[in-house]
Chains A and B, each alone.
Chain A
Amino acid sequence: MVVVNWLQVLFNSAVTGSLYLLAAVGLTLTYGLTRFPNFAHAEFMALGAYAGYTIAEQLKLGFPYSFIAAFISSAALGAASYLLVFRPLTHRGATIIHLMVASIGLDFFVRHLIKQVWGGEQLSFRMVWPYFDVGPVRITGLWVALILSAIVMVGVMHIVLTRTRLGKAIRASANNPDLAMASGVDVEKIALVVWIVGAALAGVGGLFRAADTRLVPLIGWEILLPAFAVVILGGIGSFYGALIAAYVIGLAENFGVVFLVMFKLSTDYKFAIAFLILILTLILKPSGFGRLFGEGGKVV
């Protein structure tokens, strides 16, 4: 008989979902705004992780500083990617295919740059996090920090998107760049802001992933697939859709493990379960959860 501590599984889902959310927010907003899936987003995560590693492990400055380093370095990479690669390409009439291929190229370039600087060897954070039991649930400081970061990010984003002119313009631009532009929004300026913020959040996500597991140059690619699943499930360009989708996939993966073990199947399939949900949602609601908030574009 299999005994299951459902509360622990629920908490584990929150950890997984928070990570996916941080990884996917920038991806969905840039996808909506610049109208292409940016594969180099993987490296925004990787750079944040490596920059954080340098601060925490090589300079021994502690995790809060590596958090800031991840945020800033990835933000800078996001800005540079947009200003030096994608905006000039868009001005020259690049199509979605051109931009996508360029983003894959940029991804390779940045990844090898990272390999040059930090080496291809696996690295690990040595810091030991405190852990404690809350009732039947085991919790560590890292997981709490990850979930709190996601909550704070959601709170700030929500206020910005609903209360400020900038936020309203961001939401409009991610949903329908043409309409926003025709309405007088400086879409390119908004795009720059979104690329910076999205990349910074991805950097923070990458840092948490690295601290939770280990650091390899492919660390971003490992989360890119679930991040894309979140984007599609949430509806392209929809922040609120991504919010729901990230936790839905987090729940699916973790509860999936329980059921897979019950049925004596490999937990490899937990991702298959997440994708099953994705496919079903796309059949029933093609524009994803974003639809619930009147957001989300169709898959191009």
Chain B
Amino acid sequence: MKYKVEVEKVSKFFVNPNGERLQVLDNISFKVYDGEFLCFVGPSGCGKTTLLRIIAGLEKPSSGRVRVEGETPNPKKIRIGFVFQEEALFPWRNVWDNIKFGLEVRGNYNPKIVEDVVRLVGLENFKSYYPHQLSGGMRKRVAIARALAVNPSIILMDEPFGDLDAQTRWIMHKELYSIHEKLKKTTILVTHNVEEAVYLADRVLVLTRRPAKVKKEIFIGLERPRNKLSSQFIRFREEIIGFLREEVPEI
């Protein structure tokens, strides 16, 4: 079996402004299969985002090792599609120019590639719009298209739909599912929304409170497309919420 991502005994410490050492990740290990859709759920502030940034190579682990396609992650060498939690588009570039930015930087801009991803996310009629002229859901599509445009080896998504209303989020789940079906890109998605994880993931890793460890691994063996109202779906959902409640009793 070939692994796309290997995370071995990764720990991460920060020093806060008071000079205190703060451990965020505690000896985390897991592997991601090629083409797999993996979700992390965990309490707020447990270090999920840090873990994702380490896999992307935006930060270095304090100890341990991360391999993406057998190499140390480095956004300059390995193409990674990162969808950020917050608004992450360049506001002075229109939809088309935002999507092409990653290609431009790498010096291999090709209008056909951009055209393809624009069609994939359904933004054909909005190519020349600027971010501030688009709705929240539209902007998310641009961000996903931007991530896909570079033909990434993995896609990393950090609570991508957290700031959307329930209805738009529901639509985005469906779209992300169909994109994944089409492209079969290895995807790691971090969320605190359990329903989202059960709907999209092949496998869910539940993290503990900070410093985060892997608490539980759950394979979601449900047929796709999944029915959020089916009894199995709800059973998975409740099981995961149960694990989370052990960490944060207030849930």
User: Which A residues form the contact surface with B (CB < 8 A)?
Assistant: 91-95, 97-98, 165, 168-169, 171-172, 175-176, 178-186, 293-295
B90 contacts A172, CB within 8 Å? yes
Q: Which residues in B have their C-beta under 8 angstroms from that of A183?
A: 75, 101-102, 105, 146, 150
> Which residue on chain B has the smallest CB distance to residue A295?
B92
Q: Which residues in A have their C-beta under 8 angstroms from that of B150?
A: 183-184
User: Which B residues form the contact surface with A (CB < 8 A)?
Assistant: 13-17, 56, 58, 60, 75-76, 79-80, 82, 84, 88-93, 101-102, 104-107, 130-132, 146, 150
A8 to B105, CA, bound (A): 46
Q: Which residues in A have their C-beta under 8 angstroms from that of B15?
A: 92-95, 98
For the complex formed, measure the closest distance between the CB of B10 and the CB atoms of chain A, giving whole angstroms. 15
A165 to B106, CA, bound (A): 9
Q: Which residues in B have their C-beta under 8 angstroms from that of A179?
A: 82, 84, 88-90
User: Quick one: given A95-B17, A98-B17, are A182 and B56 in contact (CB under 8 Å)?
Assistant: yes
Q: How many A-B residue pairs have CB under 8 A?
A: 71
Q: Which residues in A have their C-beta under 8 angstroms from that of B102?
A: 183-184
Partner of A295, one of B84, B91, B107, B132: B91
For the complex formed, measure the closest distance between the CB of A222 and the CB atoms of chain B, giving whole angstroms. 29
A263 to B91, CA, bound (A): 43
> Which residue on chain B has the smallest CB distance to residue A293?
B92
A169 to B107, CA, bound (A): 12
6 smallest beta-carbon distances between A and B, as pairs: A294-B91, A294-B92, A182-B82, A183-B102, A97-B17, A179-B88
For the complex formed, measure the closest distance between the CB of B131 and the CB atoms of chain A, giving whole angstroms. 8
User: Quick one: given A176-B90, A293-B92, are A184 and B17 in contact (CB under 8 Å)?
Assistant: no
Q: Which residues in B have their C-beta under 8 angstroms from that of A94?
A: 15
> Which residue on chain B has the smallest CB distance to residue A96?
B17
User: Quick one: given A93-B15, A182-B58, A184-B79, are A168 and B104 in contact (CB under 8 Å)?
Assistant: yes
Q: Which residues in A have their C-beta under 8 angstroms from that of B90?
A: 171-172, 175-176, 179, 294
B105 contacts A181, CB within 8 Å? no
- Name 8 A/B residue pairs within 8 A (Cβ), A-sorted: A93-B15, A172-B101, A175-B90, A178-B88, A179-B84, A181-B75, A183-B150, A294-B132
A98 to B93, CA, bound (A): 33
For the complex formed, measure the closest distance between the CB of B122 and the CB atoms of chain A, giving whole angstroms. 22
